[in-house]
Chains A and B, each alone.
Chain A
Amino acid sequence: MTGHAFIFRVLVIGVPWLAAIPAAFTRKHSRVIGFIASSVSVVLSAVLLRYAASSTSLDEALMLLFSCLTLGAILVLPRRDCTSGTIAGILFLLGSTLLAYSAEHLAVLLIAWILTTVPFFAKVFAARTWRPRIGLMISSIALAGATGLIAANGYHLSIDSLKGESPGGMAVFLLLLLAVVFRKGICPAHAWVADAADGGHVIPTALLLNGHLGALLVAKLIVPLFPHTAHDLFPMLSYLALTTALYIAIRSLTENSPRRLLAFVGLSQSACILAGLESETAEGITGALLHWVVVTISTMGLFGILRLLEVRFGENLTAGKHFGLAEHAPRLAVFFAVFGLALVGLPGTLSFCSQDLLIHGTLASHPQTGLLLPIAIAMNAVSVFRLFTRLFLGKRRTGFTIMADALPRERWILTAGVLLVVLGGLFPNAFVAVQSAQAEIIDQANDTPPRRYLTADPDFPSLSPPRLRTMSGIRSGFDGAASGN
Chain B
Amino acid sequence: MSAYEAILVFVVSAPGLVFGIFGLLWLLGWVPVERVLSAVTAGTYSVCTVALVVILWGLGASGSSSVVVTFGNWFAVHDYHFPLVLMVDRVSLPFLVMTVILSGLIGRFSATYLHRERGFLRFFLLLHLFAFGSVLAFAAGSLDLLVGGWEIVGITSVLLIGFFQQRPSPVENGLRVFAVYRACDIGLTVAVFAMHHWTGTALFADGLPKLAGTRPAIACLLLLLAAAGKAAQVPFSGWLPRAMEGPTPSSAIFYGAISIHAGAYLLLRVQPMLTASRLASIAVVFIGFITAIYGTITGRASADAKTSLAYASLTQVGIVFVEIGIGWKSIAIAHILGHATVRTLQFLRAPSMLHDYHTIHSAAGGDLSPTGKHLEDLFPERLQLWIYRWALDRGHLDTIIDRWLIQPLMNLSRLLARLDGLGLQQVSTRRQAPAVSMRSIAGQGGK
Q: A253 near B197 (CB under 8 angstroms)?
A: no
- Complex CA gap A250/B417 in Å reads 10
Q: Which residues of A contact B410 (CB under 8 A)?
A: 253-254
Q: Which residues of A contact B24 (CB under 8 A)?
A: 415
- Identify which of residues 405-447 in chain B touch chain A, using a CB-to-CB cut-off of 8 Å: 409-410, 412-414, 416-417, 420, 423-424, 427-431, 433-436, 440-441
Q: B171 near A393 (CB under 8 angstroms)?
A: yes
Q: B77 near A194 (CB under 8 angstroms)?
A: no
Q: Which residues of A contact B144 (CB under 8 A)?
A: 356
Closest 6 CB pairs of A and B: A256-B433, A347-B148, A282-B78, A432-B75, A318-B433, A393-B165
- Identify which of residues 137-195 in chain B touch chain A, using a CB-to-CB cut-off of 8 Å: 144, 147-149, 151-152, 155, 158, 162, 165-168, 171-172, 174-175, 178-179, 182-183, 185-186, 189-190, 193-194
Which chain B residues have a beta carbon within 8 Å of chain A's beta carbons?
23-24, 27-29, 73-80, 82, 133, 144, 147-149, 151-152, 155, 158, 162, 165-168, 171-172, 174-175, 178-179, 182-183, 185-186, 189-190, 193-194, 196-198, 200, 213-215, 218, 409-410, 412-414, 416-417, 420, 423-424, 427-431, 433-436, 440-441
A357 at interface by CB-CB < 8 Å? yes
Q: Which residue of A lies closest to B167 (CB)?
A: A395
Q: Which residues of B contact A152 (CB under 8 A)?
A: none
Distance from B229 Cβ to chain A, minimum over Cβ atoms (Å): 11
Q: B77 near A389 (CB under 8 angstroms)?
A: no
Q: A382 near B175 (CB under 8 angstroms)?
A: yes
Q: Which residues of A contact B424 (CB under 8 A)?
A: 129, 131, 195
Q: Which residues of B contact A462 (CB under 8 A)?
A: none
Q: A341 near B155 (CB under 8 angstroms)?
A: yes
Q: A415 near B28 (CB under 8 angstroms)?
A: yes
Q: A471 near B197 (CB under 8 angstroms)?
A: yes
Distance from B242 Cβ to chain A, minimum over Cβ atoms (Å): 14
- Complex CA gap A327/B152 in Å reads 24
Q: A436 near B77 (CB under 8 angstroms)?
A: yes
Q: A482 near B416 (CB under 8 angstroms)?
A: no
A24 at interface by CB-CB < 8 Å? no
Q: A283 near B193 (CB under 8 angstroms)?
A: no
Q: Which residues of A contact B429 (CB under 8 A)?
A: 128, 199
Q: A199 near B430 (CB under 8 angstroms)?
A: yes
Q: A352 near B416 (CB under 8 angstroms)?
A: no
Q: Which residues of A contact B413 (CB under 8 A)?
A: 250-254
Q: Which residues of A contact B167 (CB under 8 A)?
A: 394-395
Given A316-B431, A318-B431, A363-B190, A356 contacting B82 (CB threshold 8 A): yes
Interface stretch, picked from A37-45, A86-94, A370-378, is: A370-378
Q: A352 near B148 (CB under 8 angstroms)?
A: yes
* 8 additional A-B residue pairs with CB within 8 Å, beyond A334-B27, A347-B152, A471-B197: A128-B430, A253-B410, A257-B433, A283-B78, A364-B197, A411-B28, A432-B75, A471-B78
Interface stretch, picked from A99-107, A170-178, A472-480, is: A472-480
Q: A322 near B168 (CB under 8 angstroms)?
A: yes
Of B77, B152, B214, B434, the contact of A439 (CB 8 Å cutoff): B77
Q: B151 near A389 (CB under 8 angstroms)?
A: no
Q: A389 near B417 (CB under 8 angstroms)?
A: no
Of B158, B200, B214, the contact of A483 (CB 8 Å cutoff): B214
A-B contact pairs, 6 of them (CB 8 A): A128-B429, A318-B431, A318-B433, A322-B168, A374-B190, A411-B28
Q: Which residues of B contact A346 (CB under 8 A)?
A: 151, 155
A191 at interface by CB-CB < 8 Å? yes
Distance from B392 Cβ to chain A, minimum over Cβ atoms (Å): 28
A198 at interface by CB-CB < 8 Å? yes
Distance from B88 Cβ to chain A, minimum over Cβ atoms (Å): 20
Q: B414 near A254 (CB under 8 angstroms)?
A: yes
- Encoded as 1 (CB less than 8 Å from any B CB) or 0, chain A from 409 to 421 comes to 0010001001000
The DSSP consensus for interface residues of chain A is: helix
Q: B168 near A395 (CB under 8 angstroms)?
A: yes
A467 at interface by CB-CB < 8 Å? no
Q: B75 near A429 (CB under 8 angstroms)?
A: yes
Q: Which residue of A lies closest to B179 (CB)?
A: A382
Q: Which residues of A contact B82 (CB under 8 A)?
A: 353, 356
Q: Which residues of B contact A334 (CB under 8 A)?
A: 23, 27
Q: Which residues of B contact A327 (CB under 8 A)?
A: 166
A133 at interface by CB-CB < 8 Å? no
Of B77, B155, B162, the contact of A432 (CB 8 Å cutoff): B77
- Complex CA gap A346/B434 in Å reads 30
Q: B75 near A428 (CB under 8 angstroms)?
A: yes
- Complex CA gap A470/B79 in Å reads 8
Q: A324 near B165 (CB under 8 angstroms)?
A: yes
Q: A378 near B155 (CB under 8 angstroms)?
A: no
Q: Which residue of B lies closest to A370 (CB)?
A: B193
Q: A198 near B430 (CB under 8 angstroms)?
A: yes
Q: Which residue of B lies closest to A356 (CB)?
A: B82
Of A260, A282, A324, A479, the contact of B198 (CB 8 Å cutoff): A479
- Encoded as 1 (CB less than 8 Å from any B CB) or 0, chain A from 307 to 334 comes to 0000000011011101010110001001
Q: B76 near A253 (CB under 8 angstroms)?
A: no
A348 at interface by CB-CB < 8 Å? yes
Q: Which residues of B contact A389 (CB under 8 A)?
A: 162, 171-172, 174-175
Q: Which residues of B contact A182 (CB under 8 A)?
A: none
Q: Which residues of B contact A483 (CB under 8 A)?
A: 213-215
Q: Which residues of B contact A415 (CB under 8 A)?
A: 24, 27-28
Q: B186 near A375 (CB under 8 angstroms)?
A: yes
- Complex CA gap A318/B29 in Å reads 29
- Identify which of residues 446-478 in chain A touch chain B, using a CB-to-CB cut-off of 8 Å: 470-472, 475, 478
Q: B175 near A353 (CB under 8 angstroms)?
A: no
Q: Which residues of B contact A479 (CB under 8 A)?
A: 198
A293 at interface by CB-CB < 8 Å? no
Q: B441 near A386 (CB under 8 angstroms)?
A: yes
A28 at interface by CB-CB < 8 Å? no
Q: Which residues of A contact B198 (CB under 8 A)?
A: 479, 482
Q: B409 near A253 (CB under 8 angstroms)?
A: yes
- Complex CA gap A327/B200 in Å reads 48
A286 at interface by CB-CB < 8 Å? yes
A359 at interface by CB-CB < 8 Å? yes
Q: Which residue of A lies closest to B212 (CB)?
A: A483
Q: B147 near A347 (CB under 8 angstroms)?
A: yes
Of A190, A191, A319, A359, the contact of B189 (CB 8 Å cutoff): A359
Q: A382 near B441 (CB under 8 angstroms)?
A: yes
- Complex CA gap A341/B29 in Å reads 22
Distance from B442 Cβ to chain A, minimum over Cβ atoms (Å): 12
Of B193, B409, B434, the contact of A363 (CB 8 Å cutoff): B193
Distance from A153 Cβ to chain B, minimum over Cβ atoms (Å): 36
Q: Which of A254, A415, A429 has the largest number of chain B CB atoms within 10 A?
A: A254
Given A198-B430, A253-B409, A283 contacting B80 (CB threshold 8 A): yes
Distance from A189 Cβ to chain B, minimum over Cβ atoms (Å): 11
Given A382-B182, A395-B166, A283 contacting B77 (CB threshold 8 A): yes
- Complex CA gap A327/B29 in Å reads 15
Q: B152 near A320 (CB under 8 angstroms)?
A: no
A50 at interface by CB-CB < 8 Å? no
Q: B152 near A348 (CB under 8 angstroms)?
A: yes
Q: A257 near B440 (CB under 8 angstroms)?
A: no
